[in-house]
Amino acid sequence: MTTLLKNPRVIDPSQGLDRVCDILIVDGKIAQLGEGLNVPADETVDCAGLIAAPGLVDMHVHLRDPGQTYKEDVFSACRAAAAGGVTSLLAMPNTVPPMDSPEAVQKLLEKSRSADAAVYTAACITKVLKGQELTDLPALRAAGAIALSDDGKPVGNTACLLAALKAARQLGMVVTAHCEDLDLAAGGLMNEGETARRLGVQGIPNAAEDCGTAREIAAAASIGAPIHICHVSTRGSVALIRDAKRRGVPVTAETCPHYLLLTDEALSARDADYRMNPPLRTRADVEALKEGLLDGTIDAISTDHAPHAPEEKADFEKAPNGSIGMETSLAAVHTALAGTLSLSQIIEKMSTAPAKILGIPGGTLREGAWADVGLFDPARRWKVDPDRLHGKSRNTPFKGMTLTGRVTATYFRGRKVYGLAE
């Protein structure tokens, strides 16, 4: 199969590329980039006015597969990914049962082979996510896991965390850390602040995340091992990560679109679709996150895509935390960061950098690379309608919002897996 994408503005941070040219795709690979390519093709697509970029790499996704596939599964999640320009994703291991055995890892990866995106998985650091006893890390690596995490909560036993960091370095795996002091966060439903007080609900202080971030950084620094900090939401964590990088600690970090576009005021209507962990914070935290992205303190933007059924989100105080995000991620980030980061910088944070952190193929349109390509109309405005999204769940915090920028088509390994219906 041969596809010729004509005249898009090609933005590829991996090559420092930002110019109008053509992209020739042959047998799933990028065969040629150049101006005025006139070659026979099975499909020629006029892309004038569109951005062509490497497919996004979302390094924080909850597939709910196995065990909770009424919320999402591998195939529905990858359909949502494709609609958002995401061509590679890292699945978190807090499934039912947890991803703590080689058999579970192998089963998920085998199932995902026919999906509309490349699925990679993190495996559990500790058995049954209990935070006390290490899993068989070499066996999990051999089964295909590329990362380690107890996401959903921190590793309770710091000795276990240190052992995992040491082993991960030797195995070539990434430790992705959920940073939270569970005692400080206990009972909290949202950010501790004026909105929580007005609603009469218990809040979660910034210190719950900041103390967790400080512990993970200190553990990594003590042995010089890399660590990746998940879903950063506070100005304190940004400062801690910035300081650690200045000291030479091998730390990377991510934040999420909802922390850049929303604040805790969004919970004023007591709608649980705006409840996630860590919670939406204040305008001061939002500005600190933007500064952290701009100066390189925060390396990547992921979604923490966390589907839940509508009935689970119906009760504000009893609902589980989490929101969906892959389908809206690029548009939400483009809307939030217009005037702060360039499109090239946004794509670097959402594609090139996470691919590099994870050590996976992706994040590039170099000749010979997989043809994972997203086409994006940066001027197109659209209103987010949950009922028109492609996953199984509807718990988006951007519902009813008008975003600027829309993915119009996605190619995964040369195959068109999404096209915007007019």
Token pair, residue 303, equals 């979604």
Catalytic (active site) residue 304: yes
Instruction: Give residue for tokens 């939401």.
Output: 233
DSSP for 40-85, written as a single string: --SEEEE-TT-EEEEPEEEEEE---TTT-TTT--HHHHHHHHHHTT
How far, in Å, CA of 84 to CA of 40, rounded?
29
Instruction: Point out the catalytic residue in the list 58, 65, 304, 372.
Output: 304
Three-state secondary structure call for residue 281 = coil
On whether the CB atoms of residues 372 and 45 are closer than 8 A, the answer is: no
How far, in Å, CA of 30 to CA of 412, rounded?
11
Cis peptide before 40 (omega within 30 of 0): no
DSSP for 85-127, written as a single string: TEEEEEE-S--SS-S-SHHHHHHHHHHGGGSSSEEEEEEESBG
Q: Would you tell me the crossing angle of helices 206-223 and 235-246 to the nearest 10 degrees?
A: 20
Which residues are part of the catalytic machinery?
Answer: 304
